């Protein structure tokens, strides 16, 4: 499920989130936004609680649109600990987006596995 955020809730729901958030800037008139919406839902289902998906209506949240300097819709921002880690914009269709989402998921999964492996190794070393 995509939860909606606004200028009022953005700091709390996105910037202060303990997990990465994929922010989906869209507008009701944007045809490509409607086309990619099912892919985003599928991505979120695959990621579970590891990455949140937040939707922002760019027309109703003009300050956010300006803050993140949107050039086109849809625009996706992967924000982790308040920092934009990736920006996806200008994709041509579903396949383009699918590849970008798979890259995010791959990168995120590799990072988690590496972090967990390092922590486990450190714990085992310290307990020896």
Could you confirm whether 47 is annotated as catalytic? Answer: no
For the question of residue 30 being annotated catalytic, the response is yes
User: Which of 33, 56, 77, 100 does the annotation list as catalytic?
Assistant: 33
Q: Which of 7, 13, 17, 30 is catalytic?
A: 30
Measured CA to CA, the distance from residue 121 to residue 115 in angstroms comes to 10
Active site residues: 30, 33
């Amino acid at each position: 499920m995509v939860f909606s955020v606004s200028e009022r809730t953005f700091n709390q729901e996105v910037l202060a989130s303990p997990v990465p958030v994929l922010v989906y800037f869209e507008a009701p008139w944007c045809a490509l936004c409607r086309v990619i919406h099912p892919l985003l839902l599928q991505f979120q289902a695959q990621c579970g609680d590891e990455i949140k998906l937040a939707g922002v209506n760019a027309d109703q949240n003009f300050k956010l649109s300006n803050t993140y300097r949107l050039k086109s819709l849809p625009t996706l921002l992967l924000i982790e600990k308040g920092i934009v880690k990736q920006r996806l914009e200008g994709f041509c269709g579903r396949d383009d987006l699918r590849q970008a989402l798979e890259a995010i998921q791959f990168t995120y999964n590799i990072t988690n596995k590496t972090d967990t492996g390092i922590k486990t190794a450190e714990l085992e070393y310290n307990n020896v």
